[in-house]
Amino acid sequence: MKGFPDLQATTKVLADQSRLEILTILMDGKYHNVSELAKKTKIKSHTASYHLKQLCELNWVASYKQGRNVYYHLSSEDIAELLEKLMNISPIKEISSFNESIELEKLKKGRSCYRHLAGKIGVDFFNALVQKGCVKLENNNLELTDIGEQYFESLGMEMNLIKKQQGIFIKPCLDWTEQTFHLGGNLGKAFFRHCEEKNYLILNKENRSVCLTNAGEIFFAALMSS
């Protein structure tokens, strides 16, 4: 018979710095193998495998095997949202190096939050949607308006297919650097994918930061000014 939630098991996972770093990397929504994760967290491959096994047992991380290679990703968007919320309530650490300062600035400007567009770019886009009446935000509930549906369809996004996908269609996601919302849910992921396909942004391979291409600068500037 099942009893109470084991919060200690959860806090134990979060207490290890290497596991936290692995989870943070996986917030980019992509699949990573052990070697990649070990290199980025600066730990041995067998240590990364140990941490990933624990995360898989807790169902925070899932694996996918292709040939001899095993790839890992977050098991659900809920895990990414939990981590983002924890970042919002956590104390701020001191920057200890110039490289850390540069990385933070890149992440603040734009990043992937489990395939949502986050950071200042994502928040500015969300605010533009609100101001133009594309979405309606009331009591932290988000609704796509008819104007919004027409806007996303005008971009070439297939709204009917997005609405049929499993999961939540649209929701606000609290941004840990901007302390306000960016676009979440399946619509948020579809828009991020659209930006990648149109070459509006490039995802940094070393972290979750994104930078706009020239085409992306033009696209977002036109949206903000129209």
What does the pLDDT average to over 165-171?
94
Position 1 confidence tier, pLDDT thresholds 50, 70, 90: low
Q: How many CA atoms lie within 13 A of 187 on its CB side?
A: 27
Confidence grade of residue 154 (pLDDT, cut at 50, 70, 90): very high
Per-residue confidence at 29, pLDDT binned at 50, 70, 90? confident
User: β-strands 201-203, 210-212: how paired?
Assistant: antiparallel
* pLDDT at residue 168 is higher than 90: yes
In the chain, what percentage of residues exceed pLDDT 70? 99
Phi, psi for residue 68 in degrees, rounded to 5: -90, -10
Instruction: Tell me the one-letter amino acid at 15.
Output: A
Is the confidence at residue 4, as pLDDT, over 80? no
**pTM assigned to the model:** 0.80
Q: What's phi and psi for 64, nearest 5 deg? A: -140, 125
3-state class of 141 per DSSP?
strand
Per-residue pLDDT, 99: 81
State pLDDT tens for residues 48-103.
999 999 999 989 999 999 888 899 999 988 898 888 888 888 887 787 787 888 88
pLDDT tops 90 at residue 183: yes
pLDDT bucket at 117, cuts 50 / 70 / 90: very high
Burial environment of residue 182 by CB neighbours within 10 A (0 to 12, 13 to 18, 19 or more): buried
Domain segments of the chain as ranges: 7-75, 86-225
Q: Which residue has the higher pLDDT, 71 or 3?
A: 71
pLDDT of residue 54: 92
Of the chain, the end-to-end C-alpha distance in Å amounts to 59
Percentage of residues in the chain having pLDDT higher than 90: 68
Domain 7-75 falls in which CATH fold? Arc Repressor Mutant, subunit A (1.10.10)
DSSP 208: S
